[in-house]
Chains A and B, each alone.
Chain A
């Protein structure tokens, strides 16, 4: 996030796009609700009538994957209505004039042909956001998990830059990170293009710095992304070490993924449970869990916080860092003789410019948000206050692109996927926590009642859902939360593995999978053998080894 969580109750106008925050980041959403109670206005762009849409002033039910068209049209209206912040554009940005010219042709009427939103609503939303003194944008993977994820984010930056909604309290372009330490995994250098602290691997000075620290020269060449690596399993990639990810279930195109992992000579999985992924591994190593592990995590607002062990781990489970460092020692490599999490974190701080002012003891109370470039620095709750990292905020001239797969006669319905409040990811944790299944015992496919009638389905009955990559059976639930022509399911339940279907394309820059837009076909089927209507979902067990 460019701005701190504490800023979330301060905007005049909130613009949420591709974020189902009341279910995925419920505590952050309470801040937005407090802003609304104080009189703030809210625009929600989401294909579904999610919880936030119910309390929004304007809901833009855009067609999945059409965000760029909507945002171009909003920029068009902001420019046409004279709501652009010319002083900000002049002082802080580059290519502003070109951008204002670029958006002249993108009218709300043009966009409505693509995104299927009412042009008047686009107009209202644009004037609302453009007219705000403090306008804040919040987004989640509804923006990034498309073939145009980068374009989507840059479209959001464009409208924030043109209205001067960056670098001030209650403004910003704010991604809500989905996992407790997904920000930290990037900060710590688990990226193919960056060393710790987002230092590009292609810069010779960085190569030299890490050669000094690690005693080994690392390639100047960027590594491959996980997506590419999975594509090349058995053909260039022959071993993988996977820590704490149920890749087989969470990644797109499950059949492809399973085939990939099975074609490795060596798969090492480090996890808490015998996950579907662990079951295909050659070696499974037991890790300590949350509340058993001392360590550090960074949240969505870049706040660096301490994790503390409260109970001992079961049996022989060990911290992930210990496992990997031991493995390195068994490989015969030197420099991996770490004794504690503190020692590991302090080495990270010593090599990362954004953590340079931090160490294990200084983060005791969690008051620092990075960058913290030196020990006297108070941390940076709000980015871009005085200047942008690269000097000026650069407008990008974008055009709309269709998703790689679009609906057709064969696959006439859009499937979009996501999470639900009570369950988390593939239920490896929430499915094993007492009571959670009371709130959400099974997965259902959310289908608009008109589509149920049109497709000959039955509310509470079963449907076969198929895409070019696979098919599955799922129970149907009629709801106007889904728009006509779009259905929704989460990837939480093992018996509804929606990622068997997804996988139609990736963003060309980040290689993030297009999990949010997948054309599918639906047809009625009988209930699976042995399952009556209303039967609970499967209980998680150790399963077959």
Chain B
């Protein structure tokens, strides 16, 4: 609406078709797209380490360099906006050499180049690129950067900065996506350190323990401690897409399981409500599911003051139906009331109202939204 009032056209893509040349192929793009985004759309598989599609382009890792006709040096495709007539090469022997050397140098700064996938969603990115570029040569071995914080006793976010490559994805996701600004960058070069204000514990910072920093970390410097506690659970990790069980936002998650056990939660980057975001509860508060306090059998109470005792389903259902039938007989069908849950699925609420309506012919049914 504003756009129209200002007389600015809402889009300019329709009138003129914008094209550029990608590895000799003429391709279309929309204004505002970066060279990287255009190349991704055309399945070019340009390597990146500091890139997260949800964040502003950063241009730090330089792995996404491409050759641009007319430019003296390769340019970072993540920060270069596509322009009409641009001629770009995403692959060449020179680019591959440059990327390989970059990977060798990046790896040289870290204590470990391979971490358990339970560290987080993006934790295998660096290891994958080291393999792709055959860059596990160790020829730049020497100084390392980052000081780990084993003193941070929080139960969720492992802070193993000896495996940090200073891509700043954690800092940027915290600022740009979460708006929390809990962590920042201190010092330069080999002394670069991701830190909270005054270098303290996450608990004493603005951190909300949403876990987004863990999930965007490409090296496993940050790790999901709850998932890592399950790294030795036997079995292949399987993922099941579902919706978070807490508030009404409806964030999509992938539940990681091994055998019959939940071993961790991954945010769903394509979740329509959350687009990869989660909060502390959705990310970490999942193990109530397998808790020993869970009820695993029906219980019935004999008499008014007897104890609740375990029963079979047959016994419990007959017991409940018998008591309900007696109430209906003594006090009529309007004396039974059903309360459905706002925490259970539709089918639960639907069946409860069906029980009351189809069974008793009343509307004595409600859910827990009034309190």
* Cβ-neighbour of A241 out of B246, B287, B334, B352 (below 8 A): B352
**Is A218 touching B344 in the complex (CB atoms < 8 A)?**
no
Q: Do A424 and B346 have beta carbons less than 8 Å apart?
A: no
One digit per residue, 1 when the CB lies within 8 angstroms of any chain B CB and 0 when it does not, for chain A 244-261 equals 110100111000000000
Cβ B346 vs Cβ A243 within 8 A: no
Contact B344 A243 (CB under 8 A): yes
| Bound Cα distance from A265 to B321, whole angstroms | 12
Closest 10 CB pairs of A and B: A315-B296, A299-B250, A295-B345, A33-B179, A244-B341, A223-B363, A177-B248, A435-B155, A182-B342, A320-B348
Q: Show 28 A/B contacts (Cβ-Cβ < 8 Å), sorted by A.
A: A27-B273, A33-B179, A180-B248, A181-B341, A189-B349, A190-B349, A190-B366, A191-B353, A191-B366, A216-B361, A219-B363, A239-B335, A244-B342, A265-B327, A265-B331, A284-B308, A287-B295, A296-B346, A298-B250, A300-B248, A303-B273, A313-B296, A317-B295, A320-B348, A321-B345, A424-B246, A430-B281, A510-B370
In the bound complex, how far is the Cα of B364 from the Cα of A30, in angstroms? 39
Inside 8 A of A182's CB, which chain B residues have their CB? Answer: 248, 342, 367-369
Residues from chain A with a CB closer than 8 A to the CB of B337 are: 224, 226, 229, 237, 239-241
Indicate whether A252 sits within 8 Å of B308 (C-beta atoms), given known contacts A181-B349, A268-B320. no
> Chain A's nearest CB lies how many Å from the CB of B319?
6
Q: Which of A1-36 contact B (CB under 8 A)?
A: 5, 22, 24-30, 33-34, 36
Q: How far is the CA of A237 from the CA of B328 in the complex (A)?
A: 10
- Within 8 Å by CB of B366, from A192, A281, A290, A330, lies A192
- Choose among B274, B324, B349 the residue that contacts A185 (Cβ–Cβ < 8 A): B349
**Distance A303 CA – B273 CA, assembled complex (angstroms):** 8
Add 6 more A-B contacts to A185-B340, A317-B294 (CB < 8 A). Answer: A188-B347, A283-B301, A287-B295, A315-B297, A328-B359, A344-B351
Closest A residue, CB atoms, query B276: A27
* A192-B366, A238-B327, A241-B352 known; A178 vs B294 contact (CB < 8 Å): no
What is B's interface to A at a CB cutoff of 8 Å? 1-2, 153-156, 176-179, 203, 208-210, 225-226, 238, 240-252, 255, 257, 260-262, 272-274, 277-282, 284-291, 293-301, 307-308, 312-313, 316-321, 323-328, 330-331, 334-359, 361-371
Which residues of A in the span 201-258 have a Cβ within 8 Å of any Cβ on B? Answer: 201, 210, 214-219, 221-227, 229, 236-245, 247, 250-252
Q: Is the CB of A239 within 8 A of B324?
A: yes
CB distance from A247 to the nearest CB of B (A): 7
A298 to B349, CA, bound (A): 12
B346 touches A433 (CB 8 A): no
A13–B302 alpha-carbon span in the complex (Å): 60
Tell whether, in the assembled complex, residue A286 and residue B295 are in contact, meaning their CB atoms are under 8 Å apart. Answer: yes
Contact with B289, one of A25, A291, A307 (Cβ below 8 angstroms)? A291
Whether a CB of chain B sits under 8 angstroms from the CB of A470 is no
CB contact under 8 A between A292 and B347, given known A219-B362, A330-B320, A333-B359: no
| Chief secondary structure at chain A's binding surface | loop
Query: A306 contacts B243, CB within 8 Å?
Result: yes
- CB-defined contacts of B324 to chain A, threshold 8 Å: 239, 241, 266, 268, 327, 331
Of B2, B295, B318, B328, most A-chain CB atoms within 10 Å: B295
Q: How far is the CA of A527 from the CA of B308 in the complex (A)?
A: 34
Measured CB to CB, the closest approach of chain A to B264, in angstroms, equals 11
Q: Say yes or no: A5-B249 contact (C-beta < 8 A), given A180-B244, A244-B344, A310-B242.
A: yes
Q: Contacting B286 at CB < 8 Å: which of A291, A312, A347?
A: A291
B307 touching A245 by the CB < 8 A rule?
Answer: no
Q: Are A325 and B351 within 8 A (Cβ)? A: yes
- Which of A120-128, A272-280, A444-452, A456-464 has 4 or more CB atoms under 8 Å from chain B? A272-280
Which B residue sits closest to A422, measured CB to CB? Answer: B280
Contact between A429 and B156, CB atoms less than 8 A apart:
no
A307 close to B345 (CB less than 8 A)? yes
> A87 interface residue, CB < 8 Å from B?
no
Contact pick for B347, options A345, A366, A431, CB 8 Å: A345
Of A285, A438, A513, most B-chain CB atoms within 10 Å: A285
List chain B residues, Cβ under 8 A from A55. Answer: 179
| Residue of A with least CB distance to B153 | A438
Q: Is the CB of B361 within 8 A of A291?
A: no
Q: How far is the CA of A231 from the CA of B312 in the complex (A)?
A: 33
A508 lies within 8 A of chain B by Cβ? no
Chain B CB within 8 A of A512 CB: yes
Cβ of A511 under 8 Å from chain B:
yes
Q: At the interface, yes or no: A541 with Cβ under 8 Å from chain B?
A: yes
What is the CA–CA distance of A190 and B2 in the complex, to the nearest angstrom?
42
Residues of B within 8 A of A218 (CB): 357-358, 361-363
A265 B371 Cβ-Cβ under 8 A: no
Q: Is A531 an interface residue (CB 8 A)?
A: no
Interface residues of A in 317-354 (CB under 8 A from B): 317-321, 324-328, 330-331, 333, 335-336, 338, 341, 344-345, 347-348
Contact pick for A188, options B282, B308, B343, B350, CB 8 Å: B350
Complex contact B179–A279 (CB within 8 A): no
Give the distance to chain B from A276, nearest Cβ to Cβ, in Å.
13
| Known contacts A266-B320, A432-B291, A540-B293; A25 and B249 CB within 8 A of each other | yes
Q: How far is the CA of A292 from the CA of B344 in the complex (A)?
A: 11
Residues of B within 8 A of A181 (CB): 248, 341-346, 349
Query: In the complex, how many angstroms separate the beta carbon of B168 from the nearest chain A beta carbon?
Result: 17
Residues in A with CB closer than 8 Å to B295 are 271-274, 278, 284, 286-287, 314, 317
CA gap between A300 and B308 in the complex, in Å: 38
- Interchain nearest-CB distance for A544 vs B (Å): 9
B177 touches A266 (CB 8 A): no
Please, which residues of chain A bring their CB within 8 A of the CB of B287?
Answer: 432-434
A289 contact set on B, CB distance < 8 A: 245, 288-289, 294
A187 interface residue, CB < 8 Å from B? yes
* Cross-chain contact A192 with B363 (CB below 8 angstroms): yes
* B contact residues around A239 at 8 Å (CB): 323-324, 327-328, 335-337
**A545 CB contact (under 8 Å) in B156, B308, B318, B343:** B308
Please determine whether A310 and B300 come into contact, CB atoms closer than 8 angstroms: no
A421 to chain B, nearest CB (A): 6
Distance between Cα atoms of A325 and B367 in the complex (Å): 18
Contact B242 A307 (CB under 8 A): yes
- B325 in contact with A331 (CB, 8 Å): yes
A-side contacts of B155, CB under 8 Å? 434-435, 438
How long is the Cα–Cα vector from A309 to B177 in the complex, in angstroms?
Answer: 29
Contact with B along A485-507 (1 / 0, CB 8 A): 00000000000000000000000
Q: Are A297 and B345 in contact (CB under 8 A)?
A: yes
Residues on B with C-beta less than 8 A from A443 are none
**What residues of chain A lie closer than 8 Å to B291, measured between beta carbons?**
432
Q: Please, which residue of chain A has its CB at the minimum distance from the CB of B339?
A: A242
A321 contacts across to B, CB distance below 8 A: 345, 347-348, 350-351
Q: In the complex the two chains form, what is the Cα distance from A456 to B364 in whole Å?
A: 48
CB-based nearest A residue for B285: A433
A243 close to B352 (CB less than 8 A)? yes
Indicate the member of A222, A268, A312, A333 with the most B CB atoms within 10 Å. A268
At the interface, yes or no: A308 with Cβ under 8 Å from chain B? yes
Quick one: given A27-B279, A279-B308, are A265 and B342 in contact (CB under 8 Å)?
no
Kindly identify which residue among A284, A296, A430 contacts B299, using a CB–CB cutoff of 8 Å.
A284
A190-B349, A305-B250, A424-B246 as given contacts; A290 in contact with B335, CB under 8 Å: no
Establish whether residues B298 and A285, one from each chain, have CB atoms under 8 Å apart when the complex forms. yes
Asked if A108 is at the interface of the complex by the 8 Å CB criterion, the answer is no
Name B315's closest neighbour in chain A (CB-CB).
A283
Q: Whole-angstrom distance from the CB of A292 to the nearest CB of chain B?
A: 7
Q: How far is the CB of A295 from chain B (nearest CB, A)?
A: 3
On chain A, the residues within 8 Å of B354 by CB distance are 189, 214, 324, 328, 336
Is there contact, CB below 8 Å, between A303 and B178? no
